[in-house]
Amino acid sequence: MIVETTERQPRWLSLALTGAIAAGMLSACHAKAPDAKEGKGGRSREALVTVATVQQKDVPLQVKAIGNVEAYSSVAVRALMGGQLQRVHFQQGQDVRKGDPLFTLDARPQQAAVAQAEAALERDRAQERNASEQFKRYSALFKEGGVSQEQYDQLKTNLAAIQATVQSDRANVDNARVQLSYATITAPISGRTGTLQVTEGNLVKANDTTPLVVINQVSPVYVTFSLPQKDLPQVTQYQAQGKVKVQAALPGSDRLTETGTLTFIENAIDPTTGTIKLRATFPNEAKRLWPGQFVKVAVTLTTLPNAVVVPSRAVQTSQQGQFVYVAKADDTVDARPVVQGQSNDGDTVIEQGLKPGETIVTDGQLQLRPGAKIKVYTPGADKAPGEGGRRRHQEGR
């Protein structure tokens, strides 16, 4: 015989079991319901993106580098005579023209030397005139036999000696005047003055190692840069066909605002770096380029006609290479591998993979995968794809 025994459960335990069962059923119901974030009907989320149309246009073929601005010419101004500096005719950093006075030195010793040389010249010229008259008179007497040959030769020699002395005196006068001209120092070139090394009242040495001032010619100006040796054949090829345009972007800017011409290619490649030095000349009339600056340089070789172009930000990189997201008619995207060409002013040439007129994603790529649903961002209607760490747009928000 089997005897079944039962114990009566407390009332509070029964109530607890009933509540647990009810909570489990409610949780199960909620798990089966569609996620509100997925949208109505359980649809997948739509990523908010911006798009652009693939264009076809002429694009310049360029090679780019970092260049250094150099003065077209630079002159260190030094004194050619010693003396006290009496006057400075310019301000530091001032633009000067060739021939403008820069410095005036104490010229009194040189002025005295000029006066002395001129006086000696006048004295000897008077003796020359007297000797010349005597020679004329004795020449007539010599022809008549009234003067011996010895006397005639002596007068002729005296005249020649005095004439040589006069020539020497003229040279001394010229030299004294040249020395006097050194007292006024003028600008040898047109350009901008640098730091003034001496001030009025100081003694100046002739040909001192420290220049009085340095003048740099900044209009025109040079920009020197280096290119890899692989680019040299193209550069020389297009230079042989005509002038090669070079553009420069100022520091802190990506816009190529200054335009010059390639004027020099070094005669040898640097074997340590595998690069070759080039130089372009810029008119620099607005003086935006300054010696010592580093600038972005673009050498325009030719123009690529009818190139397929997309915004550079549309091109993404994966382990398999470059790709772009192409928007399809059903509001989904496809990852399309592409072959990227050169980039210029925010645009990138696509050599293979895209056709003109196709729509591509330009922003919001981090939230995409092949086949993902997208919604095109409309300015003023939704938050931009990049806001808040590229937040996803959810339908119904």
pLDDT of residue 386: 53
Give the integer Cα–Cα distance in Å for 266 and 274: 13
Q: Is the dihedral of CA 204, 207, 210, 216 positive or negative?
A: positive
Rounded to 5 degrees, φ, ψ at 345 are: 50, 45
Give the model's pLDDT for residue 378.
Answer: 74
Question: Could you give the C-alpha distances from 294 to 222, 290, 291, in angstroms and in order?
Answer: 12, 9, 9
Residue-wise pLDDT tens digits, 292-316: 999 999 999 888 899 999 999 999 9
End-to-end CA distance of the chain: 70
Mean pLDDT of 117-140: 90
Question: Which of 24, 41, 44, 45 has its CA nearest to residue 33?
Answer: 41
Please say whether the beta carbons of 213 and 100 come within 8 A: no
pLDDT of 33 strictly over 70: no
pLDDT at 20 over 80: no
**pLDDT of 385:** 61
Tell me if the pTM is above 0.75: no
Burial (0-12, 13-18, 19+ Cβ within 10 Å), 104: middle
Cα distance between residue 167 and residue 20, in whole Å: 132
Which pLDDT score is estimated for 21? 43
Structure tokens at 384: 């931009």
pLDDT in tens, 342-366: 887 788 999 999 999 999 999 999 9
Q: What's the average model confidence in pLDDT over 27-48?
A: 50
- What value does the mean pLDDT take over residues 310-323? 93
- The yes-or-no verdict on residue 36 having pLDDT over 60 is no
Q: Any idea which of 92-101, 132-141, 231-240 has the lowest mean pLDDT?
A: 132-141
* Helix orientation angle between 149-181 and 108-144, rounded to the nearest 10 degrees: 160
Amino acid 251: pLDDT: 79
Structure tokens belonging to residue 271: 């074997």
Q: Is the pLDDT score of 11 beyond 90?
A: no
pLDDT of residue 334: 94
Per-residue confidence (pLDDT) for residue 289, from 0 to 100 = 93
For residues 235 and 282, is the Cβ–Cβ distance under 8 A? no
The shares of helix, strand and coil residues in the chain, as percent rounded to the nearest 5, are 30, 35, 35
Say what the pLDDT of residue 114 is: 95
What is the pLDDT, as a whole number, of residue 44? 57
- In terms of Cβ atoms closer than 10 Å to its own Cβ (0-12, 13-18, 19+), residue 305 is exposed
Higher pLDDT among residues 10 and 134, named by residue: 134
221 half-sphere exposure, CB direction, 13 A CA radius: 26
Q: Output Rg (C-alpha) for the chain, integer angstroms.
A: 45
